[in-house]
Structure 1
Amino acid sequence: MNKYPLLQHFSTTLPRVQLVLRIVFYLPHDHRVLAPVLRQVLDTYLGFIAASGGALTSGYDPDISEDSFPLTPDTWGEVHTELEKARFGPLEDMDQDSFWFWTLTKRNYDTWVLLKGGHSEPDGYEFSFESRLPWREPSSEHSVLSVKLPISFLETQGPEKAFALARSLAELLPFSTGHAGLSLSFTRGRSKLLPLLKEQLSRHPGWHVPPPLTWGLGPWIDDVHWLNFLGPPLLETVGGIQALRSHLSHPETTVQELTGGRALISLGAEPLAGDTKRGETLPAYRELARFLEPWLLPFPHVNTWDGYTDEEARLWWRRFLEAPPEKIYDPRGG
């Protein structure tokens, strides 16, 4: 049985949707704080994907070019400069009539570096860094570092390599929360494609749908995943390592203490899609969701999922908290 249904592309009719392994860290810091480690983070990712023949081939950074650009030695140098330099201090110290104050506040981010693999179409490899605006009194917004791996990486390198990459990045980054797991990736047309995926999303609860914007995550946790990283002060808020270990008893769940008062909760040896039609409801994920429910990102007051009723969107949002559907197919029955 294929562990990752439909591989990278869902079908010839939905080529703009991919299933990937996505690793994300939410960082309560401005770019100038993160700049010293970003080059090492990028190099760590590139080293891991090179082992599987992966590479990043094109980039987008509005401070380099208005259009995407091929990654050549010259443009790689510009990307490194954009990541490494601490560009701005607090916006309150800038002239409010200046070009940069107007530009930054209009686009609502400091830096956005997006690097992708593939040629005519993305191949599933991706590195993205978005930094929040550097106000003197920070809001609940976060800077966000995310990378993606195609399903082929899991199949050829094994989930152990994906786990090692996530751990390596976690050791470098001062995160508040983070996660890694199976995720949908939309090359374009997200709002039009989501309504076509209702049946698949209901059937495979292990597939995550990334929110279009993550700036306002605040103190919340973005869903439950294969790997779940908790940093300060959230780890203390939930009761610390001992509370996690005493409340999480599923045999596939492990809780590891990381440096700096942080923790990693692993839900099995590999990421799972689940299949509710076969009775695969991901009980370890459900147990963690019940424990973390007070801190999980709540269902938004306004339904942002085009083509879904409020109830359909709510049920997906709470798929690990609601009672699982009855199994309607037993693979052992032939």
Structure 2
Amino acid sequence: MSKYPSYQHFAASLPRVQLVMRVVFYLPHDHAVVAPILRRVLDIYLDFIGLGGGSLTSGEDSDITEDTFPLTPEFWEEVQRHLAKPRFEYLDDMDQDSYWFRRLTKRNFDTWVILKGGDSEPDGYEFSFESRLPWREPSSEYSVLSVTLPMRFLEVAGPEKAHDLAQSLADRLPFATGHAGLSLSFTRGKSKLLPLLKDQLARHPGWAIPVTRLWHQEKRIDGIHWLNFLGPAMLETIGGTQALRSHLRHPETTVQELTGGRALISLGPAPLAGDTKLGETLPAYRELARLLEPWLLPFARFNTWDGYTEEETRHWWRRFLEPPPAPVSNPLDG
């Protein structure tokens, strides 16, 4: 895993940016449906991060307090209660002039719990669950569960354990889609930091930028990653596992059938950053992108980042579909 250490964080130049391994699942269900399994999902994550010496130390939950709180036994108990039992019934049954109806519809989520590791600064371990608003008519929005691992976890426990974590979570979650791979993590100031990373983003296509509040997917996939999970509806739309296997020929790509008519597409034994300056353009990622292009989320103009032109952001969004830049040097030259 020697290819990762120099990208664990950006040290003195950009101390608020880290490179992490991020696992995300989009759940087409209200909190009440997934509540019975969330405690177990959290326990699985805690068991895995313990292998790398990690732990969770602080939390955020605006329904507990507006401030970040330490995960003392009392706060742990309250957080786990919020995960295990949703606080709100259908919004249709609320008085529209009530305080909670106005607050919930304004913030646009039911429950949002974020648990982080680290003392003075986040250390790369994070568990987050955000649930959609509960309406009697099923919503087209998704609830989102996300966990992260720092690069040192990959060095200590290995990418196999990161793969096992993602699959263990997938085995228990009723997801529509999901993914796992390298991602930047911003402790704060994302809008100001992204322009400073323009050259590095272009150089390392395997780095993802977490999408903020991606709710309406409508049978879409939010990009190409190391591990790509497809739920029953998406897999059926694409044509099933046999269609995937017949089109994906890269030797490091595997297609695995999961229970419940779901599938996992793995692009190699470990997540890769790629390095276009050295000609490392991630061909397995590009092959999958070409196959799934009809179902990839299209670029939306409102996603243009501060400090980037619309064309620059669009090109990054489609980086596995656009022609790769010519390498600056040949890795075989030493």
Query: TM > 0.5 between the two?
Result: yes
User: Residue 260 of structure 1 aligns with which residue?
Assistant: 260
Note the alpha carbon deviations across 1:256-315, whole angstroms, 9 max, x for none: 000011000000000000000111000000000000000001000334311111111111
Report SS of the residue matched to 1:87. coil
Letter in 1 for 2:12: T
Q: CA deviation at 1:89?
A: 2.5
| Structure 2 letter corresponding to 1:42 | L
Q: Distance in 2 between the 1:152 and 1:53 partners?
A: 10
Structure 1 position 287 matched with structure 2 position 287: yes
For 1:243, give the aligned amino acid: A
Backbone CA RMSD of aligned residues? 1.1
Unaligned runs of 5+ in 1: none
State the distance in 1 between where 2:181 and 2:22 align: 6
Give the structure 2 partner of residue 85 of structure 1: 85
Given that residues 30 and 131 in structure 1 are in contact (C-alpha distance below 8 angstroms), is that contact kept between their aligned partners in structure 2?
A: yes
Aligned to 2:99: 99
Alignment match, 2:332: 332
Q: Deviations over 1:70-106 (max 9, x none)?
A: 0011110001100001332221111112222111111
TM-score using structure 2 length: 0.98
Q: Tell me which amino acid in the other structure corresponds to 2:264.
A: L
What one-letter code is carried by the residue in structure 2 that aligns with 1:194? L
Stretch moving more, 322-331 or 175-184? 322-331
Distance 1:74 1:84 in 2: 16
Residue in structure 2 matched with residue 9 of structure 1 by the alignment:
9
Q: C-alpha distance in 2, partners of 1:157/1:77? A: 29
In the alignment, is residue 108 of structure 1 matched against residue 135 of structure 2?
A: no
Query: Match for residue 181 of structure 2?
Result: 181
Deviation per CA, 1:161-181, whole angstroms, max 9, x where unpaired? 000000000001000000000
| 2:241–2:255 Cα contact (<8 Å) kept | yes
TM-score by length of 1: 0.98
2:68 aligned partner: 68
Which shifted more, 7-16 or 315-324? 7-16
Higher deviation after alignment, 46-55 or 174-183:
46-55
Letter aligned with residue 229 of structure 1? F
Alpha-carbon shift at residue 5 of structure 1 (Å): 6.0
Matches within 5 A, 1:61-210: 61-210=61-210
Who is 2:54 aligned against? 54
Query: Which secondary structure state, in structure 2, belongs to the residue aligned with residue 270 of structure 1?
Result: coil
Q: 1:32, 1:88 within 8 Å by CA — same for their partners in 2?
A: no
Please say if residues 255 and 266 of structure 1, whose CA atoms lie closer than 8 Å, have aligned partners that are also in contact: yes
What SS is found at the alignment partner of 1:118?
coil
Whether the 8 Å contact between 2:130 and 2:145 is mirrored in structure 1 is yes
Give distance in 1, aligned partners of 2:240 and 2:10. 40
Partner secondary structure for residue 315 of structure 1: helix
Give 1:217 deviation, angstroms.
2.8
Within 5 Å, which residues of 2 pair with 1:30-45?
30-45=30-45
Residues of 1 paired with 2:302 and 2:73: CA distance? 45
| C-alpha distance after superposition, 1:35-54 (max 9, x if no partner) | 00000000000000112110
CA distance in 2, matches of 1:251, 1:220: 26
Superposed CA offset, 1:195-254 (max 9, x none): 110110000000001112212233210100000000020100000111001010100000
Count of aligned pairs between the two proteins: 334
CA drift of 1:326 comes to: 1.1
Counterpart residue type for residue 320 of structure 1: F
- Of all paired residues, the percent bearing the same amino acid is 73
The one-letter amino acid paired with 1:168 is S
Partner of 1:251: 251
Q: Distance in 2 between the 1:326 and 1:235 partners? A: 34
Closer/same/farther in 2, CA of residues 193 and 244 from structure 1, 3 Å limit: same
Distance in 2 (alpha carbons) for counterparts of 1:18 and 1:328: 26
Instruction: Give, as a single letter, the amino acid of the residue that structure 2 aligns with 1:239.
Output: G
Counterpart of 2:137 in 1: which secondary structure? coil
Q: Is the 8 A contact 1:128 1:146 kept in 2?
A: yes
